[in-house]
Every structure is written in C-alpha cells, then in structure tokens.
Amino acid sequence: MRYLNVVFLVLVMFLAACSSEEQPETYSMILVSDEENLSGEFTKYIGNNVIEYEHITSLKAALEKYPKYDIEKAPAILIFKNNGGELKKLELKTYDIEEAKDWLEDNQ
C-alpha cells in the first residue's frame, strides 16, 4: 500500500511540473493584400508562433468580412494573441510589412 502512495505522489508531482511549464504565446494573423502576393513574406512564422493564418486578396473583401477593424488600405497585417478558445486580442495592426515581421521576430 505504501508503494502505491509513493507512486501516486510521484505521478502528481510529475503532472504538476508539466503543467507549470510556460506555454509559448501563439498568434493568429490576417494578411490583406490587393495585387501583390505577400503570403511568402510570412511563411516562416506560420506553424511556429502563428497558428492561424488568413490571407485575403482584396481590400473590399476584408472590409466586408472584418468591418470592426477599420482597415484603411492594403497591405494590412493584423496580429491577434490567442487567449484560448475563441477570444483573440488584437496585438498589432500595421500597414508596414517589415514592422509586422519585426514584431513576429520579437514575439517568438
């Protein structure tokens, strides 16, 4: 019986240690481009810290789908922090591709 208690205690400690490891931040990204195909600029981030990615090839389509983000022009990059579930917080909205790439580099 004492052996089972020790095994149980070790198992609980192991699970507690695993759950206390800090999980990396993950992000979702919406890329709006018109004529220029910019998706290749961000492929190295997809699957790493960007786990959801949407590329919209028309400013008009982006405005119809996401009116609350007031997208003024293309290209536009919107990056959201995933807070678990469906809640996402807008972290960055930019019209500068290099600024978005730098932000993703800094937040890997």
Beta bridge partner(s), residue 56 = 32
Distance of alpha carbon 15 from alpha carbon 4, whole angstroms: 16
Helix (H/G/I), strand (E/B), else coil: 100 = helix
* Assigned CATH for 22-107: 3.40.30.10
**Highest mean pLDDT: which of 3-12, 21-30, 38-47, 91-100?**
91-100
Q: Exposed (0-12), middle (13-18) or buried (19+): which is 34, by Cβ within 10 Å?
A: middle
Query: How do the domains of the chain map onto residue ranges?
Result: 22-107
- Residue-wise pLDDT tens digits, 29-48: 999 998 778 878 899 999 88
Distance of alpha carbon 52 from alpha carbon 50, whole angstroms: 6
Q: How many CB atoms lie within 10 A of CB 62?
A: 22
pLDDT band at 17 (very low <50, low <70, confident <90, very high): low
